[in-house]
Amino acid sequence: MSGTLALNLSAQPLLESAAYALDSWQRGVLFLDTLRQRGNQLARELQKPAPTVLSFAGELVLDGRTLPRPVNYGLIRITPPAGTVIDERKRPFVVVDPRAGHGPGIGGFKPDSEIGVALRAGHPCYFIGFLPLPVPGQTIEDVMRAEQAFLEAVARAHPEADGRPVAIGNCQAGWQLAMAAATRPDLFGPLILAGAPLSYWAGEHGRNPMRYAGGLLGGTWLTALAGDLGHGLFDGAWLVQNFETLNPANTLWTKQYALYDRIDTEPARYLGFERWWTHHVLTNAGEMQDIVDKLFVGNRLATAELATREGERIDLRNITTPIVVFCSEGDNITPPPQALGWITDLYDSVDDIRAAGQTIVYMIHPNIGHLGIFVSGSIARREHEEFASNIDFIDVLPPGLYEAEILDGSGPGGHLLRFAAREIEELRAITRPDPEDDRKFATVRRVAEINLGLYRQFLQPLLRATVTAPMAEALRQLHPLRFQYSFFSDSNPAIAAVAPLAQAVAAHRRPVPDTNPWRQAEHAASAWIEAGLMLAGALRDHVQENLFHAVYGQKLLQSLVGLGARDEAVRRRPGLEPGQQAFRAARIRELQGRIAEGGPRAAFLRLVAYIGLAERRADERSFAVLRALWHSHGGGDLAAFKALLREQFLMLRLDRDAALAALPAMLGDLPPEGIPAFAEALRQVATAAPLHPAAAERLAEVEARLALLGAAPLQPAS
């Protein structure tokens, strides 16, 4: 018996080795078959006239190709899933997908998406997607005008809605929506910019390598080259390749190994995501050239240097609706400095923001990646749910700069949304503006203009005379990102033969447990490979960053391109310009002249703002009580409520003593016996959330003032 046991123990390593060899071979066959399915999936998608990964049904409302300036975009009304109740009186949500190389649908890719969250909150929902091919001659300004037409159509369809449509712009769609809102602010309700870059030079040393790409490539002439090789079309696969090279460990190993490692459970999720990731769309060459010249390298949006073809300046300070910026420290495509840097570019202080009547809210997630911001899976669902359910609260926030905070364990739904007032100096600690970096990127802009001019003079005429449409299409199909999908598909007979073998393997699958020593060795080897690729990527980024600063930090090069004087401003700072200062002074004078105007409703909102300013925070509980009181006393619609609250807040910020001294005159139409009810309503709002000690002191002060007013005759309001 002991001999039999010894024989079994000696055979155990052989049995484990044989089992692992069979398992790894089977996983290899199933892995190859999954790649085959991925290629076939893409081939089927390309046969559709309007491919999308949108998981919700919808109806086309407006085709952008029928507009006076046609574009390949369309407006779709989302059909709510069964059991979802929509309140037509709630303001509609409009989700706009990014057109940055991929096809449309990522904003409604999952049930827990931006669209799904808005539908569950009872809002009518619309989606703006696009077709794979652009309309000839289409420009980014044409797209901007189309989005304005879409918002007009949504507003017309919901005349009873309590406010203008909420627009959500994901990544590239974010800056497009911001441009549209800056030139037609009357069309938009709150803007939610998710992972959207608006300030392209911004970033932090050692963390944001993508911003150096334009300088290291010599500017934007390569974009022109790609457009000419595409016979007037720019291939979005190049943009996707830029994203993939940011993380070589994931691109070259981790993503594919995760499929191989978990081949029995992973294919469905893998193929679902690849359905979107593999479908690369096209843009007009001129359209893409404008984007990289004026935005990516030129950085002209954040400094109000862009203008429409009619000469109208595109100034983000013209946006009158609240702007919500959702970004993440874990996003290496749109890091927080690029999502938020436009604020410190345009404004010198929070007082400038208030004078412009603008409300800006930002939230920074600690670790979610770029796609997770707007795919809204389990990680970001909480944030999108809070934005959707509290959009009216956001819409009535007084002008200023706020950071959104979500507290767990309290409030409706288990979370509590509140807003903390912030100063520009606190935001600068995040955006890290650096005059020396600005000078280097301004040098890149000049070098890019020179190189693009040389390319257009000497090389572009030759390529345009040589490259034909069939040649361009052949080059697109040979792009590495496209070729891998066509190679691993049924169009390749060698790969098509894998299908029956994979069926047989699946029928006789023999997986080994993770305790198998060879399986453990495989996992260890994978971890080493991943770590090595991550190290190589970090080393590459470090070298590129140092090279960028070494080249574009040279005073000789800066002088050669016309940036020699060290005290010369290399970019506009609109917040410091005389025109902005004059506007601020005029706004202050106008408010000072009306500080004693208004009746009891205005006085009530002024006192609510006065108590709330003590803590510099506001949360959704106080807003819910305040809005209920406003409606119960016939206060009018949300727009009137919002305008009056904002104005009272500004008057308090401007001259608190004068604003409080005016209260007796403002309450002149209220009979003395109405004062106790007025004071009780004020207490309801103030105590809806736990009171900060300073706010409690102000509430007591206000109640004492009101008690005195109730005991003495009031002067009639003028």
Specify if 242 maps to a domain.
no
Domain boundary among 433, 452, 476: 433
Residues 74, 94 contacting (CB under 8 angstroms): no
Query: Cα separation of 328 and 366, whole Å?
Result: 6
Query: Cα separation of 412 and 621, whole Å?
Result: 9
Residues 96, 167 contacting (CB under 8 angstroms): yes
Give how far Cα 406 sits from Cα of 385, 412, 414, 592, Å: 11, 12, 10, 36
Query: Cα separation of 25 and 65, whole Å?
Result: 51
Specify if 194 maps to a domain.
yes
pLDDT, tens digit (0-9, with 9 covering 90-100), for 660-698: 888 888 887 778 778 888 888 888 888 877 777 888 888
Pairing, β 233-235 against β 282-284: antiparallel
Segments of 291-433 assigned E as strands: 323-328, 359-365, 400-408, 415-421
Q: How many angstroms separate the most distant Cα atoms in the chain?
A: 110
Residues 195, 174 contacting (CB under 8 angstroms): yes
Whole-number pLDDT of residue 276: 81
pLDDT at residue 523 greater than cutoff 90: yes
Pairwise pLDDT comparison (585 vs 204), residue with the higher score: 204
What's the CATH number where 93 sits?
A: 3.40.50.1820
Query: What is the domain extent for residue 173?
Result: 58-201+299-433
How many C-beta atoms surround the C-beta of residue 405 within 10 A?
14
pLDDT at residue 717 greater than cutoff 50: no
Specify if 16 maps to a domain.
no
Tokens of 659: 């604003």
Model confidence at 575, pLDDT cuts 50, 70, 90, reads low
Query: Cα separation of 691 and 668, whole Å?
Result: 29
What is the signed CA dihedral for 196, 200, 202, 207, rounded to 10 degrees? Answer: 80
How many C-beta atoms surround the C-beta of residue 686 within 10 A?
24
pLDDT at residue 570 greater than cutoff 70: yes
Query: Cα separation of 608 and 630, whole Å?
Result: 12
Whole-number pLDDT of residue 375: 67
Residues 324, 361 contacting (CB under 8 angstroms): yes
Specify if 462 maps to a domain.
no
Whole-number pLDDT of residue 9: 53
Report the candidate in 295, 323, 284 with the shortest Cα–Cα distance to residue 178: 323
pLDDT at residue 699 greater than cutoff 60: yes
Residues forming a β-bridge with 328? 365
Residues 338, 200 contacting (CB under 8 angstroms): yes
pLDDT at residue 376 greater than cutoff 60: no
Least confident of 65-69, 177-181, 184-188, 592-596: 592-596
Can you tell me which residue has the tokens 């069926």?
A: 503
Specify if 696 maps to a domain.
yes
Burial letters 598-621, b for 16+ CB under 10 A, else e: bebbbbbbbbbbbbbbbbbbbbbb
pLDDT, tens digit (0-9, with 9 covering 90-100), for 80-97: 998 889 998 899 999 998
Domain boundary among 433, 465, 492: 433
Query: Cα separation of 295 and 323, whole Å?
Result: 20
Query: Cα separation of 395 and 90, whole Å?
Result: 13
Concatenating the DSSP letter of every residue in 88-119 gives: TTSPPEEEE---SSB-S-GGGSSTTSHHHHHH
Query: Cα separation of 558 and 551, whole Å?
Result: 10
Specify if 177 maps to a domain.
yes
Report which secondary-structure segment, H or E, holds 78: strand 73-78
Residues 218, 447 contacting (CB under 8 angstroms): yes
Query: Cα separation of 562 and 666, whole Å?
Result: 59
How many C-beta atoms surround the C-beta of residue 112 within 10 A?
18
Can you tell me which residue has the tokens 């006789």?
A: 508
Report which secondary-structure segment, H or E, holds 435: helix 435-458
Structural domains of the chain, count: 2
Query: Cα separation of 343 and 301, whole Å?
Result: 11
pLDDT, tens digit (0-9, with 9 covering 90-100), for 324-339: 999 999 888 899 999 9
Whole-number pLDDT of residue 52: 81
Model confidence at 251, pLDDT cuts 50, 70, 90, reads very high
Specify if 426 maps to a domain.
yes
The DSSP secondary-structure symbol of 108 reads G
Query: Cα separation of 267 and 446, whole Å?
Result: 48
Specify if 483 maps to a domain.
no
Residue 111 DSSP SS3: coil
pTM of the model: 0.89
pLDDT, tens digit (0-9, with 9 covering 90-100), for 408-454: 655 555 677 888 889 999 999 999 989 899 999 999 999 999 999 99
Residue 169 DSSP SS3: strand
Query: Cα separation of 143 and 135, whole Å?
Result: 11
How many C-beta atoms surround the C-beta of residue 226 within 10 A?
18
How many C-beta atoms surround the C-beta of residue 531 within 10 A?
11
Whole-number pLDDT of residue 580: 61
Query: Cα separation of 513 and 213, whole Å?
Result: 45
Domain boundary among 409, 433, 457: 433
Whole-number pLDDT of residue 293: 95
